[in-house]
């Protein structure tokens, strides 16, 4: 998967720019606050339809403008597609080859991206919701059926939570309807559990080698999946039984809480080193950064195996996060058969060989120019 060109209009600090990207490494150099991250954000939006930053969709529109537009020409499995996303004050329009897309879920596969930012330490240190979002972002790009199932699960979950509140305040409400909702929720939950378990198992088959390659260390790194129910097997029937029994046993508890307390919406996972070291507690920030980076790089072969093509790799200010040795190891890794888009404040300590093979852009005061 390759982004051939990127055009933005009235986006963040940019009036307009239109650039042609290289098929391998692209480096955007500029001072802090010059707008480099905004470029990665535009690409991420083009792939995922939403920003990796917090805030409203309308926040991406440049001050005093009415509309922001992101356009990209993408080569995906030998097919050229023109993608466009328009942001209005209270609306968003998505187009593929000038045809408006009605369902966002059908759009996601057009541009697969993996992004690393300085804030990614929160993946280890932060709340479980951050890690769940990370899982959902990857699986939604790999599997259309997962994305549809996950969206359906959330709709059923919302309805079930609302009905639990009704049952709590109105004793004459029909509990049989809650049972129907529970059965539907279980059906979707089983699929989500199985896909997440499978994905993290695949991550574990790559993550240690990548981590050790970048750090020149010899550690065993793995991801430990932690659903909030006791699961001994990820076979469909076993999962269904466990979930049904969990909801039956905890009916009164959920009724009092007015919400569904068990299910994949409460999942978590941990970064574990050498079988028993929880990296959230015992690892240094340097180790945590490299572990998150290894996790994201481990997803590249999984994307390729499932989608038939590599994703686009976005690395925001990655050089400031790593020492020279790790930086060079990473550059060697991403110089392979994958398009990477990297931001940095300077080109120091990057080898001439790497720079000669990269396309370099200068970012300054809302302007982007090829060097």
Contact (Cβ atoms closer than 8 angstroms) between residue 164 and residue 255 = yes
Report pLDDT digits (tens) over 15-38.
999 999 999 999 999 999 899 999
My answer on whether 282 and 169 are in the same domain is yes
Which CATH number does the domain housing residue 243 bear?
Answer: 1.20.1050.90
Residue 37 annotated in ligand binding: yes
**pTM for this prediction:** 0.94
| Mean pLDDT score across all residues of the chain | 94
Residue 310 annotated in ligand binding: no
State residue 113 phi and psi, 5-degree precision. -135, 150
My answer on whether 153 and 131 are in the same domain is yes
Note whether residue 119 is domain-resident: no
Residue 78 annotated in ligand binding: no
Other CB atoms within 10 A of residue 28 CB: 23
My answer on whether 93 and 237 are in the same domain is no
My answer on whether 316 and 349 are in the same domain is yes
Note whether residue 229 is domain-resident: yes
Residue 55's pLDDT band, with cuts at 50, 70 and 90, is confident
Residue 172's pLDDT band, with cuts at 50, 70 and 90, is low
Mean pLDDT of 121-134: 96
Q: How far apart are CA 193 and CA 242, in angstroms?
A: 12
In this prediction, residue 253 carries a pLDDT of 96
Residue 170 annotated in ligand binding: no
Contact (Cβ atoms closer than 8 angstroms) between residue 246 and residue 189 = no
My answer on whether 214 and 80 are in the same domain is no
Residue 84 annotated in ligand binding: no
Report pLDDT digits (tens) over 205-215.
999 999 999 99
Note whether residue 118 is domain-resident: no
In this prediction, residue 348 carries a pLDDT of 83
Residue 35 annotated in ligand binding: yes
**Into how many domains does the chain fold?**
2
Which CATH number does the domain housing residue 45 bear?
Answer: 3.40.50.300
My answer on whether 76 and 159 are in the same domain is no
| pLDDT at 365 exceeding the cut of 70 | yes
Residue 126 annotated in ligand binding: no
Note whether residue 117 is domain-resident: no
Tokens of 97: 């080859």
My answer on whether 169 and 299 are in the same domain is yes
Contact (Cβ atoms closer than 8 angstroms) between residue 148 and residue 105 = yes
My answer on whether 265 and 314 are in the same domain is no
Residue-number span of the structural domain to which 189 is assigned: 127-307
Note whether residue 144 is domain-resident: yes
Please enumerate in sequence order all residues whose Cβ is within 8 A of that of 15, keeping only pairs 6 or more positions apart, or say none. Answer: 9, 62, 366
My answer on whether 157 and 296 are in the same domain is yes
Residue 34 annotated in ligand binding: yes
């Amino acid at each position: 998967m390759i982004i051939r060109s990127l055009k933005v209009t009235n986006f963040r600090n940019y009036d307009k720019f239109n650039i042609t990207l290289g098929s391998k490494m692209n480096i955007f150099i500029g001072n802090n606050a010059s707008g480099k991250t905004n470029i990665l954000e535009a690409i991420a939006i083009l792939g995922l339809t939403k920003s990796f930053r917090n805030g409203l969709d309308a926040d991406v529109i440049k001050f005093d403008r009415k509309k922001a537009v992101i356009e990209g020409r993408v080569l995906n499995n030998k097919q050229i597609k023109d993608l466009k996303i328009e942001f209005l004050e209270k609306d968003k329009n998505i187009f593929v080859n000038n045809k408006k897309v009605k369902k966002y879920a059908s759009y996601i596969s057009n541009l697969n991206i993996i992004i690393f930012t300085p804030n990614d330490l929160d993946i280890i240190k932060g709340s479980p919701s951050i890690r769940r979002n990370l899982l959902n972002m990857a699986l939604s790009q790999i599997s259309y059926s997962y994305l549809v199932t996950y969206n359906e699960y959330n709709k059923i979950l919302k309805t079930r939570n609302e009905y639990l509140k009704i049952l709590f305040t109105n004793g004459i409400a029909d509990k049989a309807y809650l049972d129907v909702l529970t059965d539907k929720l279980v059906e979707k939950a089983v699929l989500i559990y199985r896909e997440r378990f499978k994905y993290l198992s695949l991550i574990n088959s790559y993550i240690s080698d990548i981590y050790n390659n970048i750090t020149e260390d010899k550690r065993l790194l793995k991801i430990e999946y932690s659903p909030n129910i006791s699961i001994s097997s990820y076979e469909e029937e076993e999962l269904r039984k466990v979930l049904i029994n969990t909801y039956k046993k905890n009916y009164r508890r959920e009724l009092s809480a007015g919400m569904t307390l068990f299910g994949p919406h409460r999942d978590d996972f941990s970064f574990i080193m050498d079988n028993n070291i929880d990296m959230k507690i015992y690892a240094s920030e340097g180790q945590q950064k490299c572990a998150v980076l290894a996790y994201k790089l481990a997803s590249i072969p999984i994307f390729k195996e499932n989608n038939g093509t590599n994703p686009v790799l976005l690395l925001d200010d990655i050089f400031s996060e790593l020492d020279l040795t790790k930086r060079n190891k990473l550059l060697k890794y991403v110089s392979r058969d994958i398009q990477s888009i990297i931001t940095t404040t300077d080109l120091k300590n990057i080898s001439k060989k790497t720079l000669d093979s990269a396309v370099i852009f200068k970012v300054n005061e809302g302007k982007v120019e090829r060097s």
